[in-house]
Amino acid sequence: MSKPNATVLIPGWMHEHARRVLGTHFSLVETPDCDLHTHLSSEMRASIRGVACRARIDRQFIDALPNLEIIASYGVGYDAVDAAYARSKNVVVTNTPDVLNEEVADLTLGLLISVVREIPKAAAFVREGRWKASDYPLSRLTLRNRRVGIYGMGRIGRCIARRIEAFGLPVAYYSRRPVEGVAYEYFPSLLELASAVDVLISIVPGDPSTANSVNAEVLSALGPEGVFINVGRGTVVDEDALINALRTGAIAAAGLDVLADEPNVSDDMLALENLTILPHIGSASVSTRTAMADLVARNVISWFDTGAALTPVP
């Protein structure tokens, strides 16, 4: 295949499928990290017109590439990319929406049921050889008769809501505005939503508008039978408030797929019996991650073929 006159940089890790597809279309340059002044000469930096990455992309990085046109980010959340600065420099940023919706929604329901019915603890009970001595204790919590609130009725939020409906549970939601065509009850604030439900699922992006929005007040409104699930971003939660709410019984239990400072997990969190933590695996199946990698590559190819990216961020 002929290679268009474009060089694409991969700073740090990139999925093998994206690397392979991009390599058949473009000249690739790879660096171990984003310290471009250390790794690349100024001529090399000037030759780079595209970036495919799952890295923190800041102003300094963008300024180091004077002829950059597109940053194709791996993942739907693009909080690690300074997209506003990129836009000010006429650099298009793309993400990988939609191809992971159902996978992340599946994991969300799995995490919710794991938390409520203690599946990880019950499985450990068998492996530890304790079943012969006694039955596993009845789970204090149940999903039955609960009302579920979804914080962020976007692409993934809607897939989660469909699954909750199939479980026979009512759904309500909060986003900054009601979503057209969505019939679930809308609450105009997160606090009002938390007061009306006893399961709160957070699937909003991590940005300044959502930072620490799940705070002590919201958790206390969820109540002592309340279950909190976070599959969006760790920064959305005031983690000290969450630890305190789980310790004091202000809420009953929580499940987190994302942490503010992942992969670091505090001892305070690990000590909590009523907290289940997963290592950010929402979209992490072989097939879905390959689909995401494919979209990264197709965004770059489309940009240089047609002048339009497939999934530019808003």
Select the span of 120-128, 151-159, 220-228, 304-312 touching ligand NDP (CB under 6 A): 151-159
Nearer to ligand NDP, 27 or 215 (CB): 215
| Residue 114 in the binding site for ligand NDP (CB under 6 A) | no
Residue 262 annotated among the catalytic residues of the structure:
yes
Nearer to ligand NDP, 120 or 205 (CB): 205
| Residue 233 in the binding site for ligand NDP (CB under 6 A) | yes
| Residue 289 in the binding site for ligand NDP (CB under 6 A) | no
**Which one of 11, 50, 77, 149 is in contact with ligand NDP (CB under 6 A)?**
77
Cβ-proximal residue to ligand NDP, closest one: 154
**Which one of 144, 177, 270, 273 is in contact with ligand NDP (CB under 6 A)?**
177
The CA-atom distances, in angstroms, between 311 and each of 20, 137, 165, 260, 281 are 20, 48, 29, 26, 23
**Which one of 11, 50, 149, 206 is in contact with ligand NDP (CB under 6 A)?**
206
**Which one of 91, 104, 171, 199 is in contact with ligand NDP (CB under 6 A)?**
104
**Of the listed 19, 49, 233, 298, which one is catalytic?**
233
Residue 158 annotated among the catalytic residues of the structure:
no
| Residue 180 in the binding site for ligand NDP (CB under 6 A) | no
Taking the complex as a whole, how short is the minimal distance between the CB of residue 68 and ligand NDP, in angstroms?
A: 23
Nearer to ligand NDP, 204 or 250 (CB): 204
Residue 233 annotated among the catalytic residues of the structure:
yes
Site for ligand NDP, rule CB under 6 A:
76-77, 97, 100, 104, 152-157, 175-177, 203-206, 209-210, 231-233, 257-258, 280, 282-283
